[in-house]
Amino acid sequence: MVQSGNGSIALTLHSTRPERPARVPVKATCPNCGGEITFRWSSAVQTTCPFCRSILVRHDVDLRRVGVVSDLPPSSSAIQLGTEGRYKRTPFIVVGRIIYEYDRGRWNEWHIRLADDSSAWLSDALAEYAVSRQVGRAPDVPNAAKLRVGQSFVFDGTEFSVMTLTTAGYAGVEGELPFEYWDKSKVVFADLESKTERFATIDYSEPEPLVFVGEYQDFDQLELTHLREIEGW
Binding-site ranges for Zn ion (CB under 5 A)? 30, 32-33, 35, 49, 51-52, 54
Helix (H, G, I), strand (E, B) or coil at 9: strand
Give, as one character, the DSSP assignment of residue 22: G
Which residue, among 77, 71, 73, 22, has the nearest Cα to 48 in the 3D structure?
Answer: 71
Q: Which residues pair with 106 in a beta bridge?
A: 101
Q: Phi and psi of 70, rounded to 5°?
A: -75, 175
Rg of the chain, C-alpha, whole Å: 18
The C-alpha torsion from 193 through 111 and 6 to 3, rounded to 10°, is -150
Closest separation in Å from C-beta 93 to Zn ion: 22
Closest separation in Å from C-beta 183 to Zn ion: 19
Question: Which is closer to Zn ion, CB of 32 or CB of 194?
Answer: 32
Question: Which is closer to Zn ion, CB of 52 or CB of 188?
Answer: 52
The whole-angstrom distance between residue 164's C-alpha and the CA centroid of its chain comes to: 22
Question: Which is closer to Zn ion, CB of 30 or CB of 112?
Answer: 30
Closest separation in Å from C-beta 38 to Zn ion: 13
Q: Are 182 and 156 in contact (CB under 8 A)?
A: no
Closest separation in Å from C-beta 31 to Zn ion: 8
Closest separation in Å from C-beta 25 to Zn ion: 19
Q: Are 105 and 124 in contact (CB under 8 A)?
A: no
Closest separation in Å from C-beta 152 to Zn ion: 47
Number of helical (H) and strand (E) elements in the chain, helices listed first: 0, 16
